[in-house]
Amino acid sequence: GQNIDQPTEMTATEGAIVQINCTYQTSGFNGLFWYQQHAGEAPTFLSYNVLDGLEEKGRFSSFLSRSKGYSYLLLKELQMKDSASYLCAVRDHGDYKLSFGAGTTVTVRA
């Protein structure tokens, strides 16, 4: 299985930038996902990385380094609606299952 670590909580100011780190250990790697989950709602897909480098989608970017077992999710120009839990999930090679981290709760303050 995987061992997936991410910080429990982060706080930032509206308009600022926050970087959520995720480290993982896996015997084989077949992709890393980031999901956003607002309280009481479904986790929603944000990004997918399978090759090293940066994937940018508007205000959100995700980075992957397979050799370091490391990813980050970068949230720019923070808005109040970005207050949510952010889940890192890793898929093993030849497998369909996702292993999730415990999630990082981001609180955006005015």
Partner 1 sequence: ETGVTQTPRHLVMGMTNKKSLKCEQHLGHNAMYWYKQSAKKPLELMFVYSLEERVENNSVPSRFSPECPNSSHLFLHLHTLQPEDSALYLCASSQEGAGGALTDTQYFGPGTRLTVL
Residues near partner 1 (CB under 8 A)? 4, 8, 30, 33, 35, 40-45, 48, 87, 89, 94, 96-103
- Its sign, for the CA torsion 81, 83, 84, 90, is positive
Which residues are CB-contacts of 97 (< 8 A; sequence separation ≥ 6)? 91
Between 26 and 78, name the residue whose CB sits nearer to partner 1.
26
| Nearest-approach distance from CB 12 to partner 1, in angstroms | 20
In this structure, the number of other CB atoms found within 10 A of the CB of residue 42 comes to: 9
| Nearest-approach distance from CB 102 to partner 1, in angstroms | 5
Is residue 14 within 8 Å of residue 78, measured between CB atoms? yes
Between 12 and 46, name the residue whose CB sits nearer to partner 1.
46
Between 57 and 110, name the residue whose CB sits nearer to partner 1.
57
Between 19 and 45, name the residue whose CB sits nearer to partner 1.
45
Number of residues assigned to the chain: 110
| Nearest-approach distance from CB 9 to partner 1, in angstroms | 10
CA distance 84 to 3: 22
Report residue 37 as tokens. 């989950």
| Nearest-approach distance from CB 57 to partner 1, in angstroms | 13
